[in-house]
């Protein structure tokens, strides 16, 4: 049974609103109170998981969540921090079904693939949820030969017949371009990272296609690669801005890293958002992470998607279903104040 905010509030003698703010990383909660809430939840989750482990002393085996790190870009951006509450959710899902949960990061450049595959062959691992954002076909191939179910996150491998749980990148980027065009923008530029991973490649292709569909010109020529870290993006954006905005009235920002680096460069040059340039980002940002800009965002689903993938993997492990499943999670548009409506106002 999962903890509810009102139950945590009652146990700690604080308001449910305070608990909700803390759990959603919102401001307005004292650090000491936030820590107290987190510690209580971790303690209760551990009690619950211990009870479940005791109920399933004869475990059916292990479910492995494997983060395959090829470039290391995504991991660095997430500051290599595991979310304890999210991992408790995974452990709960596995324990409830009678399995142990294990998490491992595999670094392609330094790790031994053969040792990892041997671990997966030893009989105790019954299924793998692969965090595959940085993988390509040759990387995933050995795991498809293991004769155990593999579910993939943030990638597609048709040839291997693996089930996939993904953000609908195409739908999200089309939503962003349509939103800008409907606000009167046609000179739109896409600011990208440098790394070529599945999610980013899908977004870039969708941008070019939607720009053509909306009669806004050759979108592929308006994709500018900046960098993979905030500081790198910031420096590259400054170099780009040395040549002016080049008729561009709106930027689509590929990721949270691009959003942060680009916004910093614009603010330092006193370029007014949205009056001089409109912005729409992809992926959520921490609250107040860009002082002075209330960014309009395309937001994907992450936590619920990963939990659903884990539950699906367990169902797949316990059945003989042979059909391949691809689950796309639609995005949401979170309107901020970073897009200028050119249809409402006349430039003077």
Helix (H, G, I), strand (E, B) or coil at 176: helix
Let me know whether 162 and 309 are in one domain: yes
Q: What pTM was estimated for this model as a whole? A: 0.81
Same-domain status, 275 and 294:
yes
Do 75 and 173 reside in the same domain of the chain?
no
DSSP symbol at 330: P
> Has residue 133 been placed in a domain?
yes
In which element (H, E) is residue 292 found?
none
Do 158 and 141 lie in a common domain? yes
What range defines the domain where residue 34 resides?
1-52
Q: Confirm whether 344 is domain-assigned.
A: no
Is 150 within 8 Å of 138 (Cβ atoms)? no
DSSP state letter for 28: S
Helix (H, G, I), strand (E, B) or coil at 81: coil
For residue 280, the cross-strand partners are 252, 296
- Do 36 and 88 lie in one domain? The reply is no
| Same domain flag for 160 and 190 | no
Instruction: Report the chain's mean pLDDT, rounded to a whole number.
Output: 89
Lowest mean pLDDT across 2-6, 185-189, 330-334:
2-6
- How many domains is the chain built from? 3
For residue 291, being part of any structural domain is answered with yes
The verdict on residue 155 lying in a domain is yes
CA distance 125 to 340: 53
Distance CA 269, CA 245 (A): 12
Whether a cis peptide bond, with omega within 30° of 0, leads into 71 is no
The answer on 308 and 213 residing in a single domain is no
Q: How confident is the model at residue 80 (pLDDT cuts 50, 70, 90)?
A: very low
Please tell me the predicted confidence (pLDDT) of residue 50.
66
* Within-domain flag for 272: yes
Confidence at residue 103, expressed as pLDDT on a 0 to 100 scale: 94
């Amino acid at each position: 049974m999962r903890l509810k905010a009102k139950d945590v509030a009652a146990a700690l003698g604080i308001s449910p609103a305070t608990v909700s703010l803390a759990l959603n990383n919102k401001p307005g909660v004292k650090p000491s109170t936030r820590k107290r809430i987190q510690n209580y939840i971790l303690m209760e989750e551990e009690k619950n998981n211990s009870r479940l482990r005791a109920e399933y002393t004869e475990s059916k085996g292990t479910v492995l969540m494997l983060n395959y790190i090829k470039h290391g870009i995504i991991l660095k951006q997430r500051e290599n921090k595991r979310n304890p509450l999210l991992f408790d959710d995974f452990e709960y899902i596995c324990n409830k079904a009678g399995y142990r949960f294990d998490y491992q990061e595999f670094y392609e450049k330094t790790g031994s693939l053969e040792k990892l595959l041997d671990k997966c062959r030893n009989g105790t691992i019954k299924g793998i949820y692969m965090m595959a954002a940085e993988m390509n076909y040759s990387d995933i191939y050995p795991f498809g030969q293991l004769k155990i179910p593999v579910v993939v996150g943030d990638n597609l491998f048709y040839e291997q017949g693996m089930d996939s749980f993904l953000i609908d990148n195409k739908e999200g980027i089309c939503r962003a371009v349509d939103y800008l065009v409907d606000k009167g923008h046609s000179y739109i530029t896409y600011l990208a990272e440098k790394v070529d991973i599945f999610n980013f490649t899908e977004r870039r292709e969708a941008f070019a296609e939607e720009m053509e569909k909306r009669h806004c010109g050759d979108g592929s020529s308006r994709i500018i690669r900046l960098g993979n870290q905030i500081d790198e993006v910031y420096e590259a954006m400054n170099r780009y801005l040395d040549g002016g905005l080049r008729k561009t009235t709106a930027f689509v920002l590929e990721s949270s890293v691009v959003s942060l680096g680009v916004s910093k460069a614009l603010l330092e040059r006193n370029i007014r958002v949205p009056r001089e340039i409109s912005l729409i980002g992809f992926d959520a940002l921490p609250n107040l992470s860009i002082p002075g800009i209330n960014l309009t965002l395309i937001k994907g689903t992450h936590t619920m998607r990963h939990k659903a993938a884990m539950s699906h993997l367990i169902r797949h492990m316990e059945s003989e279903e042979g059909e391949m499943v691809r689950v796309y999670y639609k995005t949401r548009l979170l309107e901020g104040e970073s897009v200028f409506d050119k249809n409402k106002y006349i430039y003077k």
